[in-house]
Structure 1
């Protein structure tokens, strides 16, 4: 069991991350106007969003998503693996990140690059995170959901507090180059969400192309695609029963929280997310 790598108050995994890379990505990495950035707090549907955007780029043709690992198609800017890939990529780039707002590459804020921020009910994020990180060998693993619940509310989990992360990124929500999506809306009406992404990115899909994007980004298809389901992660980094795509549903937290936990969570949510307009969070 490993602890975390701490950088400016934020815990990172000890594998694939080092302070120098995180610092360099923030201070020196140049985000170009033609780049597209996909930002999420971990376990919010990150890989689903990447898959959809990749398929939009190929107009529904699955060749790319079936032949290139997901972390090569949209590398993580803060990771040791992804950072050099992005630096050496000449064309318009697809960039993924879990970084909180204050650690994000500074160059972004004076660029016209488009960022899509995907949020998900933090209760579901918590449950999904618990099952995922428990299988990873390079993070502090919780012995029970109760322990993880406490860590999560304190922000003592990978990439820090969900509340801080979300508040930070939502400060961008009035900007033209920022699109806010929710996992819940994407589940409820995937087609409309794909159209919304297309409009934002200035892409046009024919009806049959849209159907292909829908088909190849479905939960079941992604679960079976070895380029997207993380089955290529080496065994020294994760236990063999790691499941990236566990349930892909909304509201699973109700199967795991006690009544007291649900109440405690509500209280913290109300405190930390005060000031946002009603209806912004589709799960409230």
Structure 2
């Protein structure tokens, strides 16, 4: 299908028609009100969103497993911009856990007048694009990614849902939210999840015992989430997400990009990212130009 049949544009961002609509965006802008104790995980797609949909309810409830065992993640921690928010918002108990892929400037006015807190999760874009490539293959509501070579150009040019990775990161680095925002990386969480959970809990004002931290870490492991039908998207009909083409929770690792980029592709990818971040006051925690162990041939 053509791009215009799959997506519609919202402030130049491509949004999938299957999950988003003008009605859902209007509801967010006009009818939804943030509460001061809301916790919002913000991610560029394929940067740890599903992980945060598991983590936030457990931290906010101080380890109560009921939500992650009984409620699908898209209803337990709904996307602000998607159609489902209107259907489930009244079922959410405070403190509410929410997620969004929106850049900072598209957040609704009620967000800025609240004290709601944001956890921004950033992931190495080399792994983001690999995960996104496979997701586009299995998700019928997204445009076919084409070849890996073609998808690299689509990603870098922002011809994918929610636009350029660099624009998204810059928007959430340039905020005036002060102590309302916390930045963490996917890689930090992979390296030491209990330590990351302590940071998240402290940020949200939750004093969790080491026993509860361990309990949450165990239930938020990739292994646990992969077999949890409320978290692994296996409840979604095959016509929308075909697990035979690729599992939604595919690997959950750091460094899978090494099996996909050729040296030439990596040079093009990293130079483009770095050029778009020229003059920024922040630096990335990864060396995007690292060619160690890259594939001799690309897939």
1:96 is displaced (CA, Å) by 1.0
Query: Cα deviation per residue 1:207-226 (whole Å; 9 max; x = unaligned)?
Result: 11111011000010000100
The answer on 1:170 being equivalent to 2:173 is: yes
Aligned match of 1:37 in 37, 40, 44? 40
Deviation, 1:88, is 5.9
Task: Tell me the residue number matched to 2:78.
Answer: 75
Question: Counterparts of 1:29 and 1:59 in 2: how far apart (Å)?
Answer: 26
Corresponding residue SS for 1:118: strand
Of structures 1 and 2, the one scoring higher in RCO (CA 8 A, sep 6+) is 1
Distance 1:122-1:84 versus aligned 2 partners, 3 A rule: same
Query: How many Å apart are 1:63 and its aligned residue?
Result: 2.7
Q: Distance in 1 between matches of 2:61 and 2:110?
A: 28
Residue pair 2:42, 2:120 contacting (<8 A) in 1 also: yes
Q: Which moved more, 1:8-17 or 1:240-249?
A: 240-249
- Structure 1 residue 173: Cα displacement: 7.2
| Pairing of 1:1-284 with structure 2 (within 5 A) | 1=1, 2-86=5-89, 89=92, 91-172=94-175, 175-241=178-244, 242-277=246-281, 280-284=283-287
Distance of aligned partners of 1:48 and 1:88 in 2 relative to their CA distance in 1, 3 Å threshold: closer
Query: Partners in 2 of 1:173 and 1:254 — Cα distance?
Result: 36
Q: Is the 8 A contact 2:117 2:181 kept in 1?
A: yes
Q: How far off its partner does 1:24 sit?
A: 3.5
Runs of 4+ displaced beyond 6 Å: none
263-272 vs 171-180, which deviates more?
Answer: 171-180
How far did residue 253 of structure 1 move?
Answer: 0.9
TM norm structure 1: 0.94
Whether the 8 Å contact between 1:77 and 1:86 is mirrored in structure 2 is no
TM-fit CA distance, 1:87 = 5.3
8 Å contact kept, 2:189–2:196: yes
User: Structure 1 162/87 Cα, relative in aligned 2: closer, same or farther at 3 Å?
Assistant: farther
SS of 1:49's equivalent in the other structure is: helix
TM-score by length of 2: 0.89
Q: CA RMSD for the aligned pairs?
A: 1.7
Contact 1:173–1:179 (CA under 8 A) maintained in structure 2: no
Contact 2:129 2:155 in 1 (8 A): yes
User: 2:291: which partner in 1?
Assistant: none
Where 1:247 maps in the other structure, the secondary structure is: coil
Displacement after TM superposition at 1:91 (Å): 3.2
Measured at CA, do residues 27 and 160 of structure 1 come closer, stay the same or move farther in structure 2, by a change above 3 Å?
farther
User: Which structure 2 residue ranges, 5 or more long, are not aligned?
Assistant: 288-299
Instruction: Name the CA distance, whole Å, in 1 between partners of 2:247 and 2:166.
Output: 26
Is the contact made by 1:61 and 1:212 (CA closer than 8 Å) also made in structure 2?
no
Query: Which of 152-161 and 266-275 deviates more?
Result: 266-275
The number of aligned residues is 283
Distance in 1 (CA, whole Å) between partners of 2:42 and 2:190 is 18
